[in-house]
Amino acid sequence: MSLGSMTIDLIRTAVASGATTATAVAEQHYAKIAAEDGPDGKNIHSFLALSKDRALAQAAKIDAMVAKGDALPVLVGVPVGIKDVLTMVGSPATAGSKILQGYMPPYDATVVQRLEAAGAVILGKMNCDEFAMGSSNENSAYGPVLNPWALDRVPGGSSGGSAAAVAAGFCVASLGTDTGGSIRQPAAFCGVVGMLPTYGRISRYGLIAFASSLDRVGPFATNVRDAATMLGVLAGKDVLDATSSERPVGDYVGALEKPVGGLRIGVPAEYFGDGLDPEIRAAIEKAIDGLHASGCEVKQISLPHTKYAIPTYYVIATAEASANLSRFDGVRFGLRAGEAKTLSAMYRETRDQGFGAEVKRRILLGTYALSAGYYDAYYRKAQQVRTLLTRDFLAAFSEVDAIVAPVTPTPAFKLGAKTDDPVQMYLEDIYSVAASLAGICGISVPCGDTAAGLPMGVQVMGRHFDEETMLRVALAIETAQ
């Protein structure tokens, strides 16, 4: 299998010049998906549903624009996929859950409309952990995604399908969501670029919510420049999402022209402890040396509350999930338990049959953390610690322009390796959840392979709404590989 190496520029140039058509590009990708992406346990299984009618109609529209000589938008003809927590008219939206099996959403997510307005062709909906809860994609009710680099390993999660599909060349870019690491971690496991934009940078309208104060939409791509292009298309105020920011959208691709010399790079001691795999440590140290060689000033920094990030995240995320998931009751969406005799039995049985074990665990944990008598001890306390974690970053960013750290403690692990031990699975997020809690931006960039041939990623974190600097540092790391 040839892993993904297509870029947005290559597709756009080929379609715009008439060397190929958007329709031919879409059909070639669908053929590859048909051959290599089945749900049979031997294939990658990154797509849950294909949106062929809509994709081919969009491709025909693009081809007509090219034929007429119209001005062409930036993603012209580019085949993309979207995580199945986002809504798109004409395709089911399951969020990887049985409770939403067959649910057809009545409206498009804002990001879907922005992608199509920019000329992208959306091929389908991507497999993910149920309601985006997980770090391995093994919590999908529709079966796991396999890592394209090693089919006995996980692609990461929860946006495992979105990462694996870009790595495998089923699409050129994709959308995932990241609540505590779900874009950055699968990007690292699959050897692609994955970006967590600042909270509020991209609209969440049409995103099936997991934890609303943490959820963010972001792109996967094969390279940093494409991630910057995607961000430029997706970012910006949306009147349909009150948490989307009014701040002007940056020139993310233009920013990549600026050299990194003179930037101050922070290396946080807390992210390089005993649990870090030696090969990942060495790869990140090499990336940092490369930045130094490019004229960056490298500084040791401290983010002293880092050790509280995982427990804080798992209180806040589960509490918000328990509230968000109360809407799935068999009345309005998807599955309804047919045999129940009373309304409350119908609620209970629908939720019992529809939710998987991890989702139930989180609803229980979150309901407990929010209940009268425990709210102050857990939820309020967690929010206070969240403020301390945010202050750590704000203090660090008064001294440095970007922070470089690992994304994951290990490379992709084997399927089944952590499914019996939820705490082990939660510890996967040790390097990703602090940026999520603080609302800052982060990106995972490939930084080489292990001796066993598994991809590794390095994380660059930036100030709130300073994606430009983060992307410049990410590009410098990518270029030095």
Catalytic residue list: 83, 158, 182
Q: Could you tell me the smallest distance in angstroms from the CB atom of residue 475 to ligand GLN? A: 24
Residues of this chain that interact with ligand GLN (CB under 6 A) are 132-135, 158, 178-182, 210, 317, 429
Alpha-carbon distance of 465 to 394, in angstroms, equals: 13
Q: How far apart are CA 6 and CA 438, in angstroms?
A: 33
First to last CA, the chain: 22
Q: What is the DSSP-derived secondary structure letter of residue 380? A: I
Is the four-CA dihedral 339, 342, 348, 350 of positive or negative sign? positive
Sheet of 216-221, strand order: 47-50, 121-126, 79-83, 173-178, 216-221, 193-196, 441-449, 455-462, 402-406, 264-268, 297-301
Would you say 133 or 260 has its CB closer to ligand GLN? 133
Say how far apart CA 313 and CA 135 lie, in whole Å: 14
Return d(Cα 235, Cα 382) in angstroms, integer. 29
Query: At 461, which amino acid appears?
Result: M
- Nearer Cβ to ligand GLN, position 85 or 121? 85
- Nearer to ligand GLN (CB atom), residue 301 or residue 315: 315
Tell the smallest beta-carbon distance from residue 153 to ligand GLN (Å): 17
Comparing CB distances to ligand GLN, the nearer of 165 and 476 is: 165
Which residue's beta carbon is nearest to the bound ligand GLN? 182
DSSP characters over 162-174: HHHHHHHTS-SEE
Least distance in angstroms from the C-beta of 94 to ligand GLN: 15
Helix (H, G, I), strand (E, B) or coil at 397: coil
Which residue lies nearer to ligand GLN by CB, 133 or 173?
Answer: 133
Provide the minimum distance between the beta carbon of 135 and ligand GLN in the complex, in angstroms, as a whole number.
Answer: 4
Residue 477 to residue 61: CA distance in whole angstroms: 38
Q: How far is the CB of 255 from ligand GLN (least distance, A)?
A: 26
